[in-house]
Amino acid sequence: MIGFHIMTLFPDMVLNGLQTSIIGRGIERGYVEVEAVNIRDYAFNKHHKVDDYPYGGGAGMLMQAEPIYQCYQAILQRIREKGQDKPVRCIYLTPQGTVFRQEMARSLAKEEELILLCGHYEGVDERVLEEIVTDHISIGDYVLTGGELAAMVVVDAVARLVPGVLNNDASGETESFQENLLEYPQYSRPEVWHDKKVPEILLSGHHENVEKWRYEQSLIRTRERRPDLLVKNEQNN
Ligand code: ADE
């Protein structure tokens, strides 16, 4: 069981995305809990304003510290009331973070509760980040309009590693990125499609040879498409 608590200005976007498909089923079955908390609900001014101009000038608006801090405290208090007294990691989704990789997903999947902060506008007042954030994560070297899509990516990748979420007995780790290799090509019925035949070895029933072939295909595919992963492999071995 893992609980994700997402601080956002667009809770519907996050919930709509995560309540469908496999993660949605994980939620229904009680392996995953997702709450999206609207930061605006913690803006204690007349117009529920959460942004303001940056000191020193510059384009755009910043998210102010206090509504985020209050939102965070409310979530943390609910977690503590459940009897959870371990430190809780708080992830800020930002293009300035460490680039998200499978090993990071593995590490986060060991937690029981995670808090995620989605930024908007031109950023967030640095002071609240200093006080609450433990991990800065980017999902890649490009800039999104907000942290929501990034948070959904992280939640999806982490939740599928939680036992029970995937239907198959094998863990989510048997697929792409185990040992930093891409997955081998796969085939289903029919045996011939558009004049393309399923590789003979897969029909042979010879388990050992099939495994060997798949491993070779993984190597070939990784060398062609993601040679950088092979370099990482050598560094790790
Ligand atoms: N917010 C905006 N762009 C992002 C990115 N690439 N990763 C994480 N959060 C973001």
The Cα diameter of the chain in Å comes to 71
Tokens, residue 120: 């908007």
Looking at the predicted structure, is the pLDDT value of residue 10 above 70?
Answer: yes
What is the percent of the chain where pLDDT is above 70?
A: 95
Tens of pLDDT along 130-187?
999 999 999 999 999 999 999 999 999 999 999 999 987 566 665 556 689 999 999 9
Atom of ligand 1 nearest to the CA of 140: 6
**pTM for this prediction:** 0.93
pLDDT tens-digit map of 196-218 = 999 999 999 999 999 999 999 99
The pLDDT value recorded for residue 170 is: 61
What is the rounded distance in angstroms from the CA atom of residue 185 to the CA atom of residue 231? 22
**Phi (first) and psi of residue 103, to 5 degrees:** -65, -30
Name the residue among 172, 69, 146 with its Cα closest to residue 115: 69
CATH number of 174-236: 1.10.1270.20
What helix, strand, coil percent values describe the chain, rounded to 5?
45, 20, 40
Å from CA of 204 to ligand 1 middle: 46
Span between the terminal Cα atoms of the chain, in Å: 33
Residues 6+ apart with CB under 8 A from 223: 230
CATH number of the domain at 2-159, out of 3.60.15.10, 3.40.1280.10, 3.30.70.20, 3.40.50.620? 3.40.1280.10
Q: Which of 93, 135, 152 to mutate to test the pocket of ligand 1 (most atoms within 8 A of CB)?
A: 93
- The domain spans of the chain are 2-159, 174-236
Query: Which of 98, 99, 136, 138 is the best mutation target for the ligand 1 pocket, counting ligand atoms within 8 Å of the beta carbon and taking the most?
Result: 138
Between the alpha carbon of residue 59 and those of residues 8, 120, 123, the distances in Å are: 22, 13, 11
Q: What is the pLDDT of residues 32-60, one digit of tens each?
A: 999 999 999 999 888 999 999 999 999 99
